[in-house]
Structure 1
Amino acid sequence: MRDNPYREDREALKELLQQYQNLKSGRQHSFIEEDAFERIIDYYDEKDDINEALEAAETGLEQYPYSSQLMIKKADLLLASRKYQEALDVLENAELYDSSDINLYILKTDAYLALDQQPRAVALLEAALEMFEGEERLDLLFELADVYDDYEEFDKVFDCLKWILEEDPTNEEALYKICFWTDFTGRNEESIRLHQRIIEEQPFSELAWFNLAAAYQGLKLYEKAIDAYQYAVAIDEKFDYAYRNMGDAYLRLRKYKEAIEVLEKVLELTRPEDVIYEAIGHCYHRMGNYAQARFHYKKAVHLNPDDSKLHYKIAVTYMLEEQWASAIKQLENAMRIHRSIPEYNLAMGECKMNLHQYKDAILYFGTVVRYKTRNVAGWEALIRCLIKAGFHDEAIEQCLAALKATDGKPLFYFYHSAMLFVTGKTKEGLLKLEEAMEKAPRLVKKFIELNPSILQNNQVVDIVARYKKGKKI
């Protein structure tokens, strides 16, 4: 018959609990040792029976009134019951008998924080750091980092993690945490120096290489970041976060082919994510491969159908191929989720205008300028659409409205001038053209695009030539 340690342990606990019940009821019982009381307290605590656990702690202290361990357990239970001052009193008493238990300082810290006495918590932990070394000292530094985090002293959180790594360069918890806090505090230069020292001692620490790369990335030193990420993945070829960040670095350098390669590696190593498919789609988009961009954007949409931005990006790829009807379907999907976003209305207006559905287009462009009154692109699109639709008087009115809304952007002086010529107000048109050329002669090409035949007007040519000569276009 095989031994069953679990069953034996369970039977021993059952017998111990019976002895405890006998003690409580005054019946005959076996002697219960101090560490047995700790086990009884833990049993009730694990069952979330705080009151019974507290009673066991008090009963134990009646038997062992000088037991600092039982006092600490009682204090822990009092903290769980939100009796913070009582817990502190018990801990003060425990400290008289044994000041070398690290739990004493951690629980006192919790009590001080609960009582909103953060300076006392910090002072306690800083004093305790002088008393402990090794793993216990590191535990106190982590505790101190948490205190600073709670009270939003974020640079001090970074300092604590830095101290931990200076004492234990292989501490994984600190290596994971300091990466976040480096980014949050912007202390990239310090992080670079710290991790370079760590790598000198621990050249095969993939986390140190990763953190070094992330710090370079924080300083926009993308080439150096990529080099460091490559060391990280050489050590751990399944380090998906390193591939992910490397992909971002390649994107920043506009090295889209390389970005695609490492982002596809992320998809091999982890479950599919919409942000990765979206990033790959963005790369293909930038490379001008709109079909592949759509393919990956659609994969992203499949994983996150409520992200209106993804539908919009698919629509943009169709627009770049002048597939206006297909673009409209995707924009309708986007606008079912978020109807009022100006970019979506602007794109929908462009599609409708290119399909000669001018009245619909005007409505969408009107929405853009209503929500973003200072947006030049919205006003420009609205005015261009009115011109194409032949609504010249309305176009003039909107030029005046655009000038007012955008604090006199020169573009709309050119558009106003063009419409004055179209409506036969040549003299006014020339004056407005001169005013526009005075403000921004480089924009004259926008004026000419609206009506290329305007260059047959000698007076127009003279004005343009004069400013070309005086101010280079």
Structure 2
Amino acid sequence: MSLTKFESMLKTNSVYFFDLVEFEEIIVHYLDVGKHSLAKKAVKLGLDQHPQSVDLKLLQVELYIFENKIDKASVLLRKIEYLEPNNEEVFIQKAAISSKSGNHKEALMNLEKALTFTDDKVDVWSLLGMEYLYLDNFENARVNFAKCLEVDYEDYSALYNVVYCFDMEKKHEAAINYLNNYVDINPYCEVAWHQLGRQYFILEQFKEALSSFDYAVLIDESFIGGYLEKAKTLEELKRYKEAIDNYLITLELDDPTAFTYVRIGECYERLKKYEAAISYYKKAVHEDPLLDRGWILLTNLYYNEGNYQKASYYISKALKIDEGNSLYWRRYSEIKVKLHFFEEAVIGFEKCLALKDDAIEIYLALTDMLSFLGDFNDAVLVLFKAQKTHKNFAEIEYRLAGLFFVLDKENYGFSHLIAALKIDFDSNVLLKELYPIVYENEKVQKLLTDYKKALE
């Protein structure tokens, strides 16, 4: 009724009287729902009618802080502190100013003072916890949030924060002990069972995790997060059909997501039901066309089936979304090799190197493509670059040997061939596979024979 009366007054430009409690309720309501302009009007009218009200002045301070008018907030706070030096809200607002200025240690000092003056310590503990989080002091943050829970076991915000602190400290066993104690006292809390399951999941204790998620969804049959985590756990246990069933429940409870479609598709793929997998991957990319993971999963599935034309189509979709992903360029080149589009394969491997993907496989594949295309000098340069990162690799030396023989530089060819034989004699089959004419060269055969006898 107070809100209706206040908003009616604003519309008619009339002036009604409100008592102090009414003004406080109106202002707090507008602050809670984010209507700061209306809160500002209510504060002004309130102070016009109750100019001595400290509580209204404190709400004015809160608005100043929100508007980043720190100087005005500080001046007004000093006046209020002079009138009421033991008012905990003064120190809470001083802490808010310090926190907003990045001075979290000073904020903690003010909150500790507020704690000595207040009977309602829960709000202050929560603020202390947040300030400690800003300082990455997770232990003290956790202690303060835990105090909130001791007063109100249904303060789920505090519960999430306690578990978050355990996570950041990587104290998952301690989190499990805490949550088990919590559910002993509050056994019908689906949030706690869900968080307990997450901790078991992190420690790869999947049976225990599954049991916890089962409790969570039994308590709240519409708990989407519980079903999602349960499905992920069933995947880890290789119970893919049950995982699919739980993912499908989430689709019934809420709007479909690309994430869920992808997970269902992956389950079907592991069950070797490839048509169903493709169907759900397509649903995923339809739901979110910018989901490159969906496109790459389609690419890989078609690649493994030997359908390189479709694989080529889908990898192009993935690359349009994330052209800085070297793994996508690898797959692009592998597909182009299968399609005998060697020039395009070269482009893909070069992109990988440009993206700092300098795995030996990239250098060797690029060399082989350039060699096949007759770009022998470029192939040599690629191998020289590879040697800077990959020392004493027989695969590099055998290729350099073959290339130098092809380029009629026998001295260099023999030098690299000897280096290759020293590293791994048995891999000389590479020369036979890649450069058969060089391998059959009489001088090369003599060197191989002599080297083999020397080893014997």
Opposite residue 411 of structure 1, the aligned amino acid is E
Segments of structure 1 that go 5 or more residues without pairing to the other structure are 1-5, 23-29
CA gap of 1:452–1:270, structure 2 versus 1, over 3 A, is farther
Give deviations 1:6-56, integer Å, cap 9, x for gaps: 5x985699689999959xxxxxxx9x7554665787799868257754543
Where 1:48 maps in the other structure, the secondary structure is helix
Give deviations 1:428-469, integer Å, cap 9, x for gaps: 8787566446546796786676589979x79758968998x9
Distance 1:223 1:43 in 2: 46
Name the % identity.
24
Residue matched to 1:306: 290
CA gap of 1:274–1:34, structure 2 versus 1, over 3 A, is closer
Residue matched to 1:123: 109
Q: Does the 8 Å CA contact 2:26/2:39 hold for their aligned counterparts?
A: no
Residue matched to 1:87: 76
Opposite residue 87 of structure 1, the aligned amino acid is L
Match of 2:387 among 403, 428, 434: 403
Opposite residue 236 of structure 1, the aligned amino acid is D
Distance 1:279 1:43 in 2: 42
Residue matched to 1:262: 246
Distance 2:307 2:184 in 1: 56
CA gap of 1:281–1:462, structure 2 versus 1, over 3 A, is farther
Distance 1:394 1:117 in 2: 58
CA gap of 1:86–1:364, structure 2 versus 1, over 3 A, is same
Structure 1 residue 110 and structure 2 residue 96: aligned?
yes
Residue matched to 2:276: 292
**1:320 shift after superposition:** 0.9
Count of matched residue positions in the alignment of Structure 1 and Structure 2: 446
Residue matched to 1:168: 152
CA gap of 1:416–1:262, structure 2 versus 1, over 3 A, is farther
Match of 1:281 among 265, 272, 283: 265
**1:117 shift after superposition:** 4.5
CA gap of 1:170–1:441, structure 2 versus 1, over 3 A, is farther
**1:161 shift after superposition:** 2.0
Q: Does the 8 Å CA contact 2:77/2:90 hold for their aligned counterparts?
A: no
Segments of structure 2 that go 5 or more residues without pairing to the other structure are none
**1:200 shift after superposition:** 1.6
Where 1:164 maps in the other structure, the secondary structure is helix
Q: Does the 8 Å CA contact 1:57/1:71 hold for their aligned counterparts?
A: no
Match of 2:227 among 233, 237, 243: 243
What is the correspondence of 1:319-338 to structure 2 with a 5 Å cutoff?
A: 319-338=303-322
Opposite residue 222 of structure 1, the aligned amino acid is F
Residue matched to 2:214: 230
Residue matched to 1:221: 205
CA RMSD of aligned residues (A): 4.3
Distance 1:342 1:241 in 2: 33
Q: TM-score, normalised by structure 1?
A: 0.76
Distance 1:370 1:415 in 2: 22
Structure 1 residue 366 and structure 2 residue 350: aligned?
yes
Give deviations 1:258-286, integer Å, cap 9, x for gaps: 54343333333332111222223333444
Structure 1 residue 198 and structure 2 residue 182: aligned?
yes
Residue matched to 2:173: 189
CA gap of 1:115–1:85, structure 2 versus 1, over 3 A, is farther
Opposite residue 293 of structure 1, the aligned amino acid is A
**1:422 shift after superposition:** 7.9
Give deviations 1:380-409, integer Å, cap 9, x for gaps: 222333455566676555444433353444
**1:301 shift after superposition:** 0.8
Distance 1:338 1:184 in 2: 30
CA gap of 1:141–1:353, structure 2 versus 1, over 3 A, is same
Distance 2:26 2:231 in 1: 54
